[in-house]
Structures are given as structure tokens and as C-alpha cells.
Amino acid sequence: MARRPLPRILSTGSAQIARSRELARTAADSATDVLQPLITITRGLRRLASAGRRRWAETPKDKRGPLLFLAASVILVVVLVPYGPLLAVITLMAAAAWQGRDRTPPDPEGPDESQTQRLQSLYEALVPYFSTAEDPSPLYAHGGEWEKAFPAYEFDGSGRITQLVIRYPAYFPDGEAEPRARVELLLTAKSGRGREYLFTWDEEGNELTVGVLDPLPTDIAAQRFVTAPGEAVLGFTDPIRVQRTLPLTYGAEQRDVPPVVWRTGARSTEPHLLVVGQPGSGTSTLLRSLALQALQYGDVLIVEGGGTGEYACLTGRDGVLGVEVGLAGALTGLEWAAQETERRLIAANQARQAGQTPPEDTRRPLWILLDRPTAFVPLAAADGREDPQSLLQVPLRHGRAASVTVVVAEQFDSLDLLSDAVRQHTRARVVLGPASAGRLAAVLGAPPHTTPVEQVPPGRGYARLGAGPVHRLQVPATPDPYDDATSEVQRQAVLELLPPRSTPADAAADALPVPVEAAVAE
């Protein structure tokens, strides 16, 4: 995935602030080390003074006179004794240093009893995976020492493992997917379910590092993202997976979050996208988010097979060519899209042969968003009409050269009904909602780098662009503003991004810019 640098004020400003904070932190640590004796003595003097005030307050008033006389006598004796003031200062400093010492109990060295039992149990569970009968000195053996196998470990407040380094023998087939998957599944079960773990295999050093990933933020609302034309933000991921951040607004606060940016257009290697998920997983939310981003620079045609009215807020808006929810409208709209793709290709080819710049209307991005297109398959078969997916072959095959982008959202149980053209040309993939590792690998083409969990928030999943790595993904919250269950903050965020409505809703179905020569009758 090509990454474009942010503007200088955004890219260098945060880096300079980070360097300044690091320098200030280093200087503060150095000053603390140098001034530590003075800090300790000052703390001790303060504690001695507090103890003296408490003792004076606790002394009855009739005994304060004799106490003052005793203190004055001691001071007089100290002054008259040779080297008395010097010895008194040394004694006072020693007492202050003793009183000002750090009384925080030191952290226990090594794990406690419960943590030791957990590590020993995990070690015993790994014995069948990391040992063979032919090994003369096995690293893993029943009743063996776990300290040699686990050189580093960390626990959270509840006693569960958060970081663990595992050494394994060189003969373990760490280059094969199945043995690694079995070990990862075991570690997930023994370390605590309900969390996402990151497994980093070091084949050269024969070490496996297990880490617990922080949950991705779910409070990112729809907003204008700082992207270039032709870039679309699918969602946000871990900072260790990408080298770019976007400034996002959280009310009055602003933070930099790493995004998953999808490059579309003529220079894209993955010009079309397939989104798969369960009902309620956020596939429609992602399509709405992409539609709002696409309307900044291009036109959008929406075909909804579910018929739930998820995109009614876009009807009649500037740049929205149509929101089709019926079979006839879907066939009409997709037939026009195929003809428009051919027209753009012919016009661009003629302009290049004449040595001229392609017309502006051929370079304006056209987005075709299809939500559950397989819902039209049984309807088309019952009416004796063609499958609307067959009209996607031209936009899918030649869409990159014609600035046409196709996004298809479908559910897991209907994947078998997708056409071969959709499967072949949608090399950018997104899976949302709970899914097993096998399902994720089947859709994305590669297993995820983390362990999927059973319960995830809406819009949570994985993304892979072509042959790139698999990213954890959280889609920005872009709900239907007409839904009663939508919060007022998120509703206003979506409404502010909608373009003005220039076409009446009743006439929006006839708003295609080029009439279709062979329109499908109702």
C-alpha cells in the first residue's frame, strides 16, 4: 500500500514534540539522579520537623517550660563541647538521611506463588508440542524447569500474562502454519480468553514473543480525514503495523491515530474492495463511511439488496447518482455503470491517440457500492432476468483505467452466490465481526497476526490490501442518521458530512446523467 506523507506541519510537528518530551524526560531523570542525596536529606528534615511539631503539640502546657529548659541546656552543652556544632550537624544530617529514605517496599524478585503455578502449568502444556523422544537433553519435559524456557514474562494486576518470551527447540517446524497455529491456540487458551494476542515468531533465534494487544478505539466518529484524492480510510489499526497517522478530533481533543488507507484510482494495485461480515457487524457502516469520503471528489451509485433503507440519507444528495433498492433499479443502474465505463475507456483512448488530456468527466471518480447483491439472485431467477452481478464484469475488469471503483459488501452465508468476477477482481478485502481463523484466512488469503475473539464491537475486524499484511481494523462510527437508536452526537457528525440535497427524493431514481439505452422495464 502506497503511503503519502502528511503535510509538514502535521508530520514534523508531532515528531518534534515527541523529541522534546524525550529530551525533557531524560534531563529530569539525570537531575533526579544527581540531586537524590539532597532530596533525601530535605525529605528527612521535613519529616523530623513534622515529628517535632507533633511532639510539641502533644506536650501539656505545664510541661513545655521544663522541656524548653532541657532543650536550651542541650544546645549550650553542644556549643561548649569541642567540635560540638560540627558533630551536631553531622548527626542531624544522618538522622535526616535515615528518615528521608525511600520506604516503598521493593518489588518482589521473580513471580509469586500463583504466577509461578501459572507459568509451570503453561510449561507443562507446551511439552507435547516442543519435545520429542529422540532429544537427549530436552528443553521441555514433564516436571522440568520452566525458567529456562521462559526468560522474560510480565503479569497484569489480575495475575494474567501480558508479555511472555518462549524459547523452543530448533527442530520445531516454526516455518509451517499448522504447528504454529496449534501452539498459538494453546497459548490463547492458557493465558486467558477474551483478549487479542500478538505472536511474533523469531525463526533465527528460536523464540516466540506473546503480547496482549490493547483494544482499538471505538469512539472515532465520522469526520473529514486528511487524505489525498484517491485515498480512502477504511478504519484504524495498531501503531506497530503502519507508518502513518491521521489527526482526528474527539470533541475538543485531537489525537493522532494510525489508519488503514486504501488507494484507489488508476495507480491502485487493488482498485476494488470486498467487505464480508455477519449481520450487525458494521458492513453497511463501512460502505456509508466510504460513500461520504468518495463524495468529496466523485460520484456514487448505491445498490442495496437488503432493502432495509440503510442509505436513505444519501438519496438526492449532490454526487449521488442513485440509491437503488429493487431488482429493476439495480439492473438499470448497473447497466448504466457498465456503459459509462466503456464510454470512459473509449473517450480516454481517443484523447491519448490524439495526444490530448482525457476529458474531465472521464477522470472524475465513480464509485459503485453494492450492499448484499446476492439478494437479487433468487429474484432474478424467478423473473427470468439476468443476475445483476453479471453487469459488474466491465467495471471490475476495466474500472481502474476508467476511474471506476466497485465496493461489494456481503454476508458469510451468501459468499457462495458471489460471481467469479467479483471474487477475482476484489483483491482488497475486509472482514468484520466475529469469525474463526479459518474463515478469516479463506476470505483474506492469509491468517491474521492476532487471535480473533468471539465478542467484538460493531465495525471491528481485519483488513488486507492485496498481498500486504493483515491489519486489525476498527471502522469509524458512521451510523444511519435516520435510525432512532443512533446517538445525537454521531447523528450530527454524519449529517454534517452529507452534501446538500439538490434532487427531490421522488426524482432521485431518474437522476443518472446518461440515459440507459436498454432500460429494464418493471
Q: In this predicted structure, what is the pLDDT of residue 11?
A: 44
Strand partners, 463: 430, 471
Rounded-to-integer distance, Cα 407 and Cα 400, Å: 13
Helix (H) / strand (E) containing 164: strand 161-167
Q: Which triple of cell numbers denotes residue 225?
A: 480525514
Q: How large is the C-alpha radius of gyration of the chain?
A: 34
Burial class (CB in 10 A: 0-12, 13-18, 19+), 485: exposed
pLDDT at 187 over 80: yes
205 annotated ligand-binding residue? no
**Range list of H helices, 35-112:** 36-58, 64-80, 84-99
280 annotated ligand-binding residue? yes
Cβ–Cβ contacts within 10 Å for residue 402, how many? Answer: 25
Amino acid letter, residue 90: I
pLDDT at 16 over 90: no
SS3 405: strand
Entry pTM: 0.75
Confidence of residue 33 (pLDDT cuts 50, 70, 90): low
Determine the average pLDDT of the residues in 247-263.
85
Determine the average pLDDT of the residues in 328-335.
94
Task: Decide which of 107 and 159 is more confident.
Answer: 159
284 annotated ligand-binding residue? yes
Q: In this predicted structure, what is the pLDDT of residue 160?
A: 85
Rounded-to-integer distance, Cα 329 and Cα 474, Å: 32
Give pLDDT tens digits for 429-438: 999 999 988 8
Q: In this predicted structure, what is the pLDDT of residue 320?
A: 94
Give phi and psi for 476, each to the nearest 5: -60, 140
Short-list 312, 316, 311, CA closest to 503: 316
282 annotated ligand-binding residue? yes
Rounded-to-integer distance, Cα 254 and Cα 484, Å: 28
- Which pairing describes strands 404-411 and 273-277: parallel, antiparallel, or unpaired? parallel
Short-list 513, 492, 130, 82, CA closest to 336: 513
Amino acid letter, residue 516: V
SS3 468: coil
159 annotated ligand-binding residue? no
Q: In this predicted structure, what is the pLDDT of residue 26?
A: 73
373 annotated ligand-binding residue? no
Q: In this predicted structure, what is the pLDDT of residue 17?
A: 64
Cα distances from 92 to residues 32, 45, 52, in angstroms, run: 23, 8, 13
278 annotated ligand-binding residue? yes
pLDDT at 514 over 60: no
Q: Which triple of cell numbers denotes residue 31?
A: 537531575
Rounded-to-integer distance, Cα 498 and Cα 493, Å: 9
What percentage of residues in the chain have a pLDDT greater than 70? 88
283 annotated ligand-binding residue? yes
pLDDT at 101 over 80: no
